[in-house]
Amino acid sequence: MERVMILDTTLRDGTQGEGISLTVADKLRIAKKLDELGIAYIEGGFPGANPKDQEFFESAKKKLHLKHAKLTAFGSTRRPGVAAETDEGLRVLLDSQAPVVTLVGKAWDFHVREALRVTLEENLQMISDSVAYLKRQGREVIFDAEHFFDGYRHNPDYALATLTAAADAGVDWVTLCDTNGGTLPHQISEIVRVVVATLSVPVGIHTHNDCELAVANSLTAVRNGVTMVHGTINGIGERCGNANLASVIPNLELKLEKRCLPSSDHLVHLTEIARFIGEIANLVPHSYQPFVGHSAFAHKGGIHVSAISRNPETYEHIRPELVGNTRRILVSELSGVSNLQHRAEEFGVDVRDRKEEMRQLLGEIKELEYQGYQFEGAEASQELLFLKRFGQYESFFDVAAMRVEATMLDDDAMHSEAIVKLLVGGQSVHTVAEGNGPVNALDSALRKALTPFYPIIETMHLTDYKVRVLDEKDATAAKVRVLIESTNGFDVWRTIGVSENVIEASWEALVDSVMYFLLRVVRKDGAAEVS
Amino acid sequence: MERVMILDTTLRDGTQGEGISLTVADKLRIAKKLDELGIAYIEGGFPGANPKDQEFFESAKKKLHLKHAKLTAFGSTRRPGVAAETDEGLRVLLDSQAPVVTLVGKAWDFHVREALRVTLEENLQMISDSVAYLKRQGREVIFDAEHFFDGYRHNPDYALATLTAAADAGVDWVTLCDTNGGTLPHQISEIVRVVVATLSVPVGIHTHNDCELAVANSLTAVRNGVTMVHGTINGIGERCGNANLASVIPNLELKLEKRCLPSSDHLVHLTEIARFIGEIANLVPHSYQPFVGHSAFAHKGGIHVSAISRNPETYEHIRPELVGNTRRILVSELSGVSNLQHRAEEFGVDVRDRKEEMRQLLGEIKELEYQGYQFEGAEASQELLFLKRFGQYESFFDVAAMRVEATMLDDDAMHSEAIVKLLVGGQSVHTVAEGNGPVNALDSALRKALTPFYPIIETMHLTDYKVRVLDEKDATAAKVRVLIESTNGFDVWRTIGVSENVIEASWEALVDSVMYFLLRVVRKDGAAEVS
């Protein structure tokens, strides 16, 4: 298998993404993970442009022990009219002590004149001097030709001349950058072919996703002779982001049969590492993300599901395990009895010879979904439905009454209070509690009522609460759907409630959450009995 | 310009996406918007598979008056061993009265044997019979060849034979489906070229995004002779989704110079419509989304800003206005003030020589946005802020107290009641009202209190109510953002509230809505005075 080198610029170009801000500690953690995945080059930052990146390289010297990757510092060619040896930016790059330097320079004549305001000849000299100087200092040097494809379309000779200037000065790699992200795959392949045929040094590609083509452009470039791909994990970066390495890497390894990680054992860490980096960057998880997303191997359609259980290859382009992801079967109004059977097995409910009940349950689920329930995000509520229908449900408490009050008096502050009346083990329990808001108050009152009977409830808590209004045209009289996520530190479960009344919907999801905890989570370890 | 037809399957394949669940009303609203954009075919659903889709086609007959699009119903070829005339699925398709039918059939010999469990010959007959029957009934018929590319790789002759069976039976289009989303662009182009050269009917493409290549695969297919592209707005769909039409369409129109919307005037609605559909599907807005995302044309400050204003083309692959998006420049505090000046002019507030107040207002807005307010979707609340800061605000009523109760007693039904105490024109007004839920009750009590003083309030009502939980990790103690949309039949305005308490946030947005109505909407026509 041919080798393709991966340069990850999550820590540099990735941080240009709107809303992305990484601390030095974050950057160190991400770099370790990228190394674990087996990335060849980790571009750690632009030390000349901001002090945080200088600090990162400083810390990296002491704390970052890379096994596979070479740490790379990013900077510009020397300023006009200055010797490379005395250029401040180049000095900072050398000071970073990164063994590799990515040097960005202009390849579009228009930008040389308009932005740099120097002659075309001086720009070539800036590239040549800077590369030669860094090489003399023992660095591996990658030349990033900014706006290369736009430049090539306007003045191909000059764009090529910038690459030749770098090559003649001893550069190790040149990278063709589609800085504006506007180039299409057929244009990429035409131009890459010319460059690879012209140059004697290896060529890389750096694409942006403004046309949703960054991954395709990277693959096309590789098919036309490029041997280094730049990108970021999850595709974060300025505007629409960079080429998403979480898609580029499996495509190269599994589809184009290129080796870009040290061995075939590394790819299985992809999903975990992509999600880890997403968490650190505080991105909303992109559930539909190819290869690594939570939904990437989730099957919802009924026809698909019956075929999948017989032969997974028929509806999956790769086995999810190859990238460390998992197959998921979803139950919804679009699904058939075979989806339910599959779920029942997962829930440990024996449904053999109970076809009629299965059909009734499917009808019930479809009816509930029609009303606005959505069980694919609320597996615990769904499991309770199964248990009820198949006689395996047991109620740990009954709700006799519930009341919530939200009051604003002269002090302009809101006060929320909830009262619940339950029947627990034959006893009537009546509690009241306050909260930040009405739902928080309800949660507190419910726990107050149940804790004396089931002290284990103190080990569970809610971790997520989502509200969506269905049928928004009806405005404040419309139905809402509430999703609640809970955990005891080990297990995580999700429940749902739907009502025209946000309090009722929240209450329904709350009660399901506690019931599920007592019935299923606790039971796994030992019985939850009235104490 | 050559024509490429767009088939949007947001309402069918899009609803296979995890977490996507659309009501019939949602589907009708989306269909209207797609028609407004100028989509040629709107695939409305799979009426044979679920009752909601049947209801959609039923409602569409009465309520959906399409200007550009043809409504399309999706279904399967007839079952094995049954005459097309007596097949239940085909009957439901005809009953839908959709003028166009998309008929999915097997193109991979393996699936014919494994999933359908019929002979290869019978599958061809099923395709042929079903197409011929629907054509005799006067429908336009599109044949979706499922798993076409996988099928072609395993048995090219048979895959082509399924297309020929459809063509010979009089089909209008055949669609090559990359059902598993595993095919790469170079494979797509090779196979499409063969198909287009072989067949006499026009060919379409239907791709999935499992390799992050759905858009590239669609464009490649068009460059090789395909004249219909299937996809969904924002790329929603099963697993990793379908080809994202919000990227396919501008790429085709602006980059490949194909005409896929009725005229060049339609593309400017793309951003608005993509965001509208995202809202209805309750997707978390994908800020980095190409073409239509909030960050798609966001530029950093510094040197770039002045260069951008001199010559935007050099830093943007297209002008954002072409797709109805806007350029955003990361604002320094100074340019922030100039942005506000622009807003002030729109609001008709004179801010000349009031630099200090402008600076204070900017600080206030930044602080509120930090807390979770988002004025882009709540211009009316923002306008009220301006009016307050510049002394042009007038309060039509003051809130003295407010209380909401939601109660569930033995009957298991929820009762909601709200009490408000206002000061109106020096008078204290105390009202109570019931509602479907607590917010609805509040709305009623507020109107009851104000109507005697401002009868014109009867002419306004709320049209939308949205809740989003911010910082979801804090669960029921987290902050929520409420957005309310109101109208008097002519004007539409939106207001916002943010609080840890959903009742308080709703109340804030409600009060702003009524205040804005009295202060700005009514004042345009005639004074709203205490009567």
In chain B, the domains with their CATH numbers are 2-280 (3.20.20.70), 298-329 (no CATH), 397-453 (3.30.160.740)
* Cβ–Cβ below 8 Å for B307 and A239: no
* Cβ–Cβ below 8 Å for A290 and B211: yes
Q: Does B484 touch chain A (CB under 8 A)?
A: yes
Helix, strand, coil percentages for chain B (3-state, nearest 5): 45, 20, 30
Mean pLDDT of B115-143: 97
Helix or strand or coil: residue B369? Answer: helix
Q: Considering only the beta carbons, identify the residue of A18, A288, A476 that sits closest to B295.
A: A18
Helix or strand or coil: residue B201? Answer: coil
Structure-model confidence comparison of residues B478 and A97, the more confident one: A97
Mean pLDDT of B381-401: 89
* Cβ–Cβ below 8 Å for B235 and A288: yes
pLDDT at B301: 41
Mean pLDDT (10-residue bins), chain A, 531 residues: 96 84 85 96 91 91 94 96 96 97 96 90 98 98 97 97 98 97 98 97 98 98 98 94 98 97 93 84 78 87 63 83 85 68 83 84 82 78 90 89 90 88 93 90 94 93 76 60 83 88 92 93 55 41
- Is 90 exceeded by the pLDDT of residue B231? yes
Choose the mutation target among A476, A487, A500, A507 for the interface with B, i.e. most B CBs under 10 Å.
Answer: A476
Q: Does A151 touch chain B (CB under 8 A)?
A: no
Q: What size, in residues, is chain B?
A: 531
* Cβ–Cβ below 8 Å for A484 and B467: no
Q: What percent of chain B stands above pLDDT 70?
A: 91
Partners of residue A405 in chain B, C-beta under 8 Å: 403-405
> How would you class B428 by CB atoms within 10 Å of its CB: exposed for 0-12, middle for 13-18, buried for 19 or more?
exposed
Q: How far is A65 from chain B (nearest CA, A)?
A: 33
Helix or strand or coil: residue B457? Answer: helix
* Cβ–Cβ below 8 Å for B50 and A333: yes
Degrees to nearest 5, angle at CA A259 with A255 and A263 = 115
Q: With the CA atoms of A157, A159, A160 and A161 taken in that order, what torsion angle do they form, in degrees rounded to the nearest 10? A: 80
ipTM of the complex, rounded to two decimals? 0.73
Q: Does A185 touch chain B (CB under 8 A)?
A: yes
- How far, in Å, CA of B447 to CA of B461, rounded? 10
Q: Is the distance from CB of B488 to CB of B431 less than 8 angstroms?
A: no
Helix or strand or coil: residue A243? Answer: coil
pLDDT at A334: 57
Q: Considering only the beta carbons, identify the residue of A210, A403, A437 that sits closest to B317.
A: A210
Choose the mutation target among A149, A153, A208, A211 for the interface with B, i.e. most B CBs under 10 Å.
Answer: A211
pLDDT tens across B67-105, in order? 999 999 999 999 999 999 999 999 999 999 999 999 999
* Cβ–Cβ below 8 Å for A288 and B209: yes
- Which residues between 317 and 346 in chain B have a beta carbon less than 8 angstroms from any beta carbon of chain A? 317-318
Helix or strand or coil: residue B82? Answer: coil
- Is 60 exceeded by the pLDDT of residue B475? no
* Cβ–Cβ below 8 Å for B315 and A180: yes
Q: Does B18 touch chain A (CB under 8 A)?
A: yes
List, in sequence order, every residue forming a beta bridge with B145; answer none if it has no partner: B105, B176
Partners of residue A294 in chain B, C-beta under 8 Å: 18
Q: Considering only the beta carbons, identify the residue of A211, A330, A440 that sits closest to B476.
A: A440
- Which residues between 352 and 371 in chain B have a beta carbon less than 8 angstroms from any beta carbon of chain A? none
* Cβ–Cβ below 8 Å for A374 and B462: no
| Neighbouring residues of A528: CB distance < 8 A, sequence distance ≥ 6 | A396, A454, A456, A518, A519, A522
Nearest CA in chain B to A182: B317
Q: Does A163 touch chain B (CB under 8 A)?
A: no
Q: How far is B475 from chain A (nearest CA, A)?
A: 4
* Cβ–Cβ below 8 Å for A407 and B402: yes
- How far, in Å, CA of B323 to CA of B121, rounded? 48
* Cβ–Cβ below 8 Å for B52 and A463: no
From the list B155, B145, B250, B253, the residue with the least C-alpha distance to B201 is B145
Helix or strand or coil: residue B330? Answer: coil
Nearest CA in chain B to A504: B414
Q: Considering only the beta carbons, identify the residue of A235, A406, A500 that sits closest to B501.
A: A406
Structure-model confidence comparison of residues B59 and A279, the more confident one: B59
- How far, in Å, CA of B319 to CA of A271, rounded? 36
Q: Does B14 touch chain A (CB under 8 A)?
A: no
pLDDT at B476: 56
Partners of residue B437 in chain A, C-beta under 8 Å: 476-477, 480, 499-504
Q: With the CA atoms of A368, A372, A374 and A379 taken in that order, what torsion angle do they form, in degrees rounded to the nearest 10? A: -60
Ramachandran sector of residue B391 (left: φ over 0; alpha: ψ -120 to 50; beta: rest): left
Nearest CA in chain B to A443: B476
Kindly report the three-state secondary structure assignment for every residue of A401-467. EEEEEEEECCCCCEEEEEEEEEEECCEEEEEEEEECCHHHHHHHHHHHHHCCCCHHHHHCEEEEEEE
Q: Is the distance from CB of A400 to CB of B437 less than 8 angstroms?
A: no
Q: How far is B282 from chain A (nearest CA, A)?
A: 7
Half-sphere CA count of A89, side-chain side, radius 13 A = 21
Q: Considering only the beta carbons, identify the residue of B297, B443, B499 that sits closest to A476.
A: B443
Q: How far is A433 from chain B (nearest CA, A)?
A: 14
pLDDT at A461: 86
pLDDT tens across B95-116, in order? 999 999 999 999 999 999 988 8
Structure-model confidence comparison of residues B455 and B328, the more confident one: B455
Partners of residue A499 in chain B, C-beta under 8 Å: 414, 437
Q: Is the distance from CB of B175 to CB of B142 less than 8 angstroms?
A: yes
Kindly report the three-state secondary structure assignment for every residue of A163-216. HHHHHHCCCCEEEEEECCCCCCHHHHHHHHHHHHHHCCCCEEEEEECCCCCHHH
Q: Does A501 touch chain B (CB under 8 A)?
A: yes
Q: Does A241 touch chain B (CB under 8 A)?
A: yes
Tokens for B324, please give them: 């109805």
Q: Does A49 touch chain B (CB under 8 A)?
A: no
Between the alpha carbon of residue B182 and those of residues A330, B24, B94, B209, B217, the distances in Å are 21, 32, 33, 8, 10
pLDDT at A527: 41
From the list B159, B164, B137, the residue with the least C-alpha distance to B148 is B159
Partners of residue B466 in chain A, C-beta under 8 Å: 469, 472
Question: Which strands form B427-435's sheet, in the order they lie side by side?
Answer: A427-435, A414-424, A398-408, B398-408, B414-424, B427-435
- Is 70 exceeded by the pLDDT of residue B310? no
Q: How far is B290 from chain A (nearest CA, A)?
A: 5
Q: Does A82 touch chain B (CB under 8 A)?
A: no
CB pairs under 8 A between A and B: 360
- How far, in Å, CA of A433 to CA of B55, rounded? 45
Beta-strand pair B5-8/B41-45 = parallel
Q: How far is B354 from chain A (nearest CA, A)?
A: 31
Q: How far is B370 from chain A (nearest CA, A)?
A: 13
Neighbouring C-beta atoms of residue A473, cutoff 10 Å: 16
Helix (H) or strand (E) holding A30: helix A24-37
User: Please, which pLDDT band fits residue B363 given cuts at 50, 70 and 90?
Assistant: confident
Nearest CA in chain A to B419: A407
* Cβ–Cβ below 8 Å for B465 and A472: yes
Q: Does B309 touch chain A (CB under 8 A)?
A: no
Question: Among the listed ranges A22-26, B413-417, B428-432, B437-441, which one has the minimum average pLDDT value?
Answer: A22-26
Give the residue ranges of DSSP H helices in B112-202: 120-136, 148-154, 156-168, 185-198
- Which residues between 380 and 439 in chain B have a beta carbon less than 8 angstroms from any beta carbon of chain A? 399-410, 414, 416, 435-439
Between the alpha carbon of residue B85 and those of residues B77, B119, B396, B483, the distances in Å are 12, 21, 68, 51
Q: Is the dihedral of CA A103, A104, A105, A107 positive or negative?
A: positive
Nearest CA in chain A to B290: A210
Most confident of A293-297, B140-144, B396-400, B441-445: B140-144
- How far, in Å, CA of A185 to CA of B415, rounded? 60
Q: Considering only the beta carbons, identify the residue of B115, B247, B506 that sits closest to A307.
A: B115
Partners of residue B464 in chain A, C-beta under 8 Å: 472-473, 475
B/e letters for B256-271, b = 16+ CB within 10 Å, e = fewer, are bebebbeeeebbebbb
* Cβ–Cβ below 8 Å for A499 and B437: yes
